[in-house]
């Protein structure tokens, strides 16, 4: 039986994939008004490469979505015609996750400055997204969703992130939770495990 936190994490990841599909479909449609499919495909791949270097979970999902959209254009298919299922159909078995974890922890260190900078960037971006709503509770909820997404994505073999970006993503989880708690107090839950720095270090 899925715990509430696990269910919330999967829901947050699903929402992030749906949002990426929406943005990438729009971007592909806009490019196709000005470029031939081959040129549009190249431009989508260039953007995917940019996002692949980011430690933000939503950028990583965006990178995968852009790459898939480029493949679809190359094959004469509508970009991301299958919707969010494109991501969840990619292989991500336990063996591949273990491989990713070994690569990350081979250079393990707590990426404190990088994680702090990432949290500040995400807070600013989310704040812009919610500017019209102007609800602090929504900002806290969205930051918790980002923490859940990062917790699920840091060792996900489906994203293109390198080990340093993945480690930054992992180390951002407790900081996102702390910042959300500052914005609006939240009840402790399973995700609070990531607030213990020693617990993170002990995963090596």
User: In the numeric block, which tokens belong to residue 159?
Assistant: 């994203």
**How far is residue 41 CA from its own chain's centroid?**
22
Q: CA-to-CA distance for 78 and 70, rounded, in angstroms?
A: 10
Whether the predicted pLDDT of 200 surpasses 80: no
Mean pLDDT for all residues in the chain: 82
| Predicted local confidence at residue 178, as pLDDT | 85
The total number of residues written for the chain in this structure: 204
Average pLDDT over residues 26-45: 96
pLDDT band of 3, cuts 50, 70, 90: low
Instruction: Calculate the alpha carbon distances from 24 to 44, 53, 99, 175, 187 in Å.
Output: 9, 18, 29, 28, 35
Q: At what angle do helices 163-183 and 94-105 cross, to 10 degrees?
A: 90
What would the pLDDT profile of 168-198 be if each residue is shown by its tens digit? 888 888 888 888 888 875 555 544 444 444 4
Question: CB under 8 Å to 164, separation ≥6 — which residues?
Answer: 55, 107, 111, 114
Q: What is the 3-state secondary structure (H, E, C) of the chain?
A: CCCHHHHHHHHHHHHHHHHHHHHHHHHHHHHHCCCCHHHHHHHHHHHHHHHHCCCCHHHHHHHHHHHHHHHHHHCCCCCCCCCCHHHHCCCCCHHHHHHHHHHHHCCCCCCHHHHHHHHHHHHHHHHHHCCCCCCHHHHHHHHHHHHHHHHHHCCCCCCCCCHHHHHHHHHHHHHHHHHHHHHCCCCCCHHHHHHCHHHHHCCC
What would the pLDDT profile of 121-171 be if each residue is shown by its tens digit? 988 888 887 776 666 558 888 889 999 999 899 899 999 998 888 888 888
| Predicted local confidence at residue 106, as pLDDT | 63
Average pLDDT over residues 56-72: 95
Q: CA-to-CA distance for 95 and 157, rounded, in angstroms?
A: 10
Average pLDDT over residues 42-58: 94
| Predicted local confidence at residue 109, as pLDDT | 60
Q: CA-to-CA distance for 139 and 153, rounded, in angstroms?
A: 21
The residue that leads in pLDDT, 85 or 99, is: 85
């Amino acid at each position: 039986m899925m715990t509430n936190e696990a269910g919330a994490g999967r829901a947050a990841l699903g929402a992030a994939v749906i949002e990426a599909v929406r943005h990438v479909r729009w971007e592909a449609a806009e490019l196709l008004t000005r470029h031939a499919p081959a040129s549009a495909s190249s431009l989508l791949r260039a953007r995917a490469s940019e996002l692949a270097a980011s430690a933000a979970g939503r950028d990583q999902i965006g990178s995968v979505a852009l790459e898939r959209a480029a493949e679809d254009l190359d094959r004469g298919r509508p970009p991301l015609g299958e919707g969010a299922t494109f991501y969840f159909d990619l292989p991500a078995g336990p063996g591949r996750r273990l491989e990713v974890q070994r690569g990350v922890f081979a250079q393990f260190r707590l990426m404190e400055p990088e994680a702090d900078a990432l949290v500040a960037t995400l807070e600013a971006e989310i704040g812009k997204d919610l500017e019209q709503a102007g609800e602090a509770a929504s900002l806290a909820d969205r930051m918790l969703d980002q923490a859940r997404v990062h917790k699920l994505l840091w060792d996900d073999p489906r994203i293109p992130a390198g080990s340093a970006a993945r480690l930054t993503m992992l180390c951002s989880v407790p900081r996102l939770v702390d910042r959300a708690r500052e914005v609006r107090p939240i009840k402790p839950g399973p995700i609070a495990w990531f607030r213990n720095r020693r617990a993170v270090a002990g995963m090596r």
